[in-house]
Amino acid sequence: MRRRATFLAVETPPLPELVPVPAVWKRLGQVETRLHEVTEAEDAFLTKIARHLIDAGGKRYRPLLAQVTAELGTISDDYPIEAGVSVELVHIGSLYHDDVIDEADERRGASSVNTNWSNTIAILAGDFLLARASEVAAPLGEEAVTLIAQTYAKLVEGQVLELQLTDDLVHGPDEYFKVIGGKTASLIRTSARLGAMAARADEAIIEAVSHWAWEMGLVFQMSDDVLDLVATDQYLGKPVGSDIGEGTFTLPVLYAMEGRRADELKALLAERRPYPSDTVASVLEIVRNGGYVDRALDEAAARLRAADESVDSLPQGEIPDILRRLGRYLLDRAEAARAT
């Protein structure tokens, strides 16, 4: 079974230093309170299951983005808080389902719901959280509810495509970007967009932060994928190269499949899984020493520049600078891990 783990901190600034806006953190604290309120079910057992990952903690990156982009609008009510609650419920609900698919036994340092109870309970609790996400978004308007529904459809599409590509040695970067666009970037974009919408930001601002967040969502996943290849077991909290071991071939590996040692690499990956440790080590050697990690980081940096171009169109002030720093934070953690 797969062992899920949270990435440990690297030599990058903590998020409160990157977002020095007290109002953002005050609302994020209210998001935390609301997450517990809206996951109260009539059945005490379902309440316990629904709050399992909420109580396990997390950075709350997606609701944080909603609170940051809300600063670009006119905030006169609690709608940005509800936007943050809604996107986090989608995120957590999707994690419950992911852990069933992956047969994961751990999430955020705690036993996964499917391990603690059962796959059936995990699926039902995930459904409950997703239903609550739509309920919370309803007061924000029809557009918000539609956005939440469309986003979850994108998450499912990304997950289904990833499953189809498991162990596939012929797909390339285009398919990879479709997967991470659906699984990761779509919800990060919705988080930023919904925060700005909830605060009644101008349409041009909503579109700008949406484009920024899409590119940042891609960078978010690309940096995590690089970490899986270059960090240490201790840093990751799981064996390095776990994606390879699961038959998931991320961007640096796909680049290597087009390189001078492509035949050797494909022969290694064509072996029957679970791969022996020396096979994973050989694959990592090819990917690391061929310059493919650097190439993937270059692509992430290009995405970061595209995101910054969207930020440049926003009114000058503190929030655009924060958005730039949040983007750099994602890339810095991958580069810091590579350097260790």
- In the chain the domains, ranked by start, together with CATH numbers, are 15-153+190-201 (1.10.600.10), 202-340 (1.10.600.10)
Q: What six digits make up the tokens of 208?
A: 């700008």
CA distances in angstroms from 136 to 40, 102, 133, listed in the order given: 13, 28, 5
Q: pLDDT 10s digit of each residue in the chain, 340 long?
A: 333 333 333 445 678 899 999 999 999 999 999 999 999 999 999 999 999 899 988 889 999 999 999 999 998 889 999 999 999 999 999 999 988 887 776 666 677 888 888 889 999 999 999 999 999 999 999 999 999 999 999 999 999 999 999 999 999 999 999 999 999 999 999 999 999 999 999 999 999 999 999 999 999 999 999 999 998 767 666 788 999 999 999 999 999 999 999 999 999 999 999 999 999 999 999 999 999 999 999 999 999 999 999 999 999 899 999 999 999 998 988 887 765 5
| φ, ψ at 187 (rounded to 5°) | -75, -35
Distance of alpha carbon 48 from alpha carbon 55, whole angstroms: 10
> Please, what is the end-to-end C-alpha distance for the chain in angstroms?
28
Helix (H) or strand (E) holding 111: strand 110-111
